[in-house]
Amino acid sequence: MSTPGAYFRLVRIGWVLVREGVVSALPSENLPAFAQLGQSVAGLFSRRRARNSDRSDRLARAIERLGPSYVKIGQFLATRPDVVGADFANDLAFLQDRMATFPTTEARAAIEGSLGRPVSELYSRFDEPIAAASIAQVHPAKVLTADGEKKVAVKVIRPGIRQRFANDLEAMYLVSHMQERLLPHTRRLRPVEVTKTLEQTTKIEMDLRLEAAALSEIAENSKNDPGFRVPAVDWERTGRDVVTMEWIDGIKMSDVEGLIAAGHDLNALADTLIQSFLRHTLRDGFFHADMHQGNLFVDPAGMIVAVDFGIVGRLGKKERRFLAEILYGFITRDYRRVADVHFEAGYVPSHHDVASFAQAIRAIGEPIHGQPAETISMAKLLTLLFEVTELFDMETRPELVMLQKTMVVVEGVARTLNPRFNMWKASEPVVGAWIRDNLGPRRIVSDVREGLHAALRLAEAAPEIAAKTEKFSRQITDMAESGLRFDAETAEAIGRSEARHGRMGRLALWVIAATLIYIAWKLV
């Protein structure tokens, strides 16, 4: 049940989007006549400066006015082109997560509240912030070690951001429920589930212990990988609201001229970047899902160092096999196999024709053959693939969409380093090795071993399952004979709840009506 506050926030969001010209700049193709009329009317109320700027600038200004939690929502939706559309997702991808810093006194209070120790005891030096984002800001600091002082980076959560995000998320849930109710054809995208995913991922991002755990897991997975590493975590100085990690002295990957001046091999860096990402994806099933240039450094030794692990993605073994078989099927032009993989995984409903789906896949694959390898984008191929699946009612797979979007970003970074970057040649050592190890005889052995383990666990749980089944059977029998009954207290509670919901619903409608009347009066 949405509160009146959610309706207020929804009205505010709409008004800001109208004033900044976002609504009037949205694509109007295929919109019904009444929606096109509403879009035209919205254009009359947009700011004059908004009318002279492009859509991405309008969107950036609107989200900046709405506040830091909407920057995070926008960044999340940028990873979901299946939900907001490719063009809109590209606009959101340009959002700069740079916010005003908050006072160092508040950062110190957050650290001391989280770790239970004075800042002066934790750090020998604690400096002013050097960067601030929607969720946290970073302070340079120093800690005492046996070898002297060591420089560290201290990331501190933004005060009050959790409550603010929870309030704004309520409006997001309201929109997603309305979308499912009023636009049935969008239910395939599961907007409510998308909002739940946003809520979960952001809750994780707002607990900095979990970001530290992600750093630690990636560090273990990649400890023997050539050319890639992540900062070490200082667990003694890490808590829910603060994470302390190794300070990285390196050059950002966005500074191409700086990399050249430092003598780094840009072609080798591009190859290492994509190979590292594919290792994390296929081998580990755990990858950095925000690998833009600002989160990637090159240290003096030529190692790529990834930072900011607030957003990560996971793929199960089924999804990894799905990805590898798709890539292999395109490489070998075995489009029927690519289609079969979709059906075997249950991603495309079984009532569709496999041969017709294979035909659609061929329409994607054939144009890329015969082209120079460096002009073929793996990320673009996956984007086209997901577009085609819409024709066959493929439900949204958030983990696959996040992977596809991250691959677009990683491939883009690689091409800024090497404009003639050959994605297929660079990825072949990793993808080929994984296919040999997981799609051949070794896969059968692995599947048999996992099947035996599952059977053993089932056998161990059999007595408990039998007891629960017997108890459930007795309860069903009793219910069938006696009916479902509520005691007096439960029935009274249900009545009170229904009455309260009815009053709140009427109050919400009056509040919305009053708000709209007020806005109209201000505009006259």
Q: For residues 94 and 56, is the Cβ–Cβ distance under 8 A? A: yes
Tokens of 211: 């970001």
CA count, 13 A, side-chain hemisphere, 468: 5
User: By the 8 A CB rule, do 339 and 361 touch?
Assistant: yes
Of 285, 294, 299, nearest in space to 227 by CA: 299
Dist. CA 398–CA 402, nearest whole Å: 6
Separation CA 35–CA 41 (nearest Å): 10
Question: Which of 46, 48, 52, 56 minimizes the C-alpha distance to 17?
Answer: 46
C-alpha gyration radius of the chain: 27
Q: Work out the angle between the directed axes of helices 354-365 and 335-344 (0-180°, nearest 10).
A: 130
Which residues are within 8 A (CB) of 358 and not within 5 positions of it... i.e. 6 or more apart? 335, 336, 338, 339
Token pair 């900011």: residue: 308
Please tell me the distance from the alpha carbon of residue 10 to that of residue 167, in angstroms, as a whole number: 11
Strands (E), 435-493: none
Residues in contact with 162: Cβ distance below 8 Å, sequence separation at least 6, in sequence order = 206
- CA–CA dist 37, 62 (Å, integer): 22
Q: 520: helix, coil or strand?
A: helix
* Distance between CA atoms of residues 86 and 81, nearest Å: 5
Q: Whole-angstrom Cα distance, residue 307 to residue 156?
A: 15
Q: Are 229 and 303 in contact, with CB atoms under 8 Å apart?
A: yes
Dist CA 250 CA 224 (whole Å) = 21
Q: Which of 54, 290, 308, 353 is catalytic?
A: 290
Looking at residue 279, what DSSP letter applies? I
Cβ within 8 Å of residue 224, ≥6 positions away? none
Query: Is 290 designated active site?
Result: yes
The answer to whether 307 and 219 are in contact (CB under 8 A) is: no
Identify whether the C-beta of residue 115 lies closer than 8 Å to the C-beta of residue 239: yes
Contact indicator for 342, 348 with CB cutoff of 8 Å: yes
| Amino acid symbol at 356 | S
Q: At what angle do helices 161-182 and 191-205 cross, to 10 degrees?
A: 170
DSSP labels, 305-356: EE---SSEEE--HHHHHHHHHHHHHHHHT-HHHHHHHHHHTT-S-TTS-HHH
- Collapsing DSSP to helix, strand or coil, 486 comes out as coil
- Which residue numbers are catalytic? 290
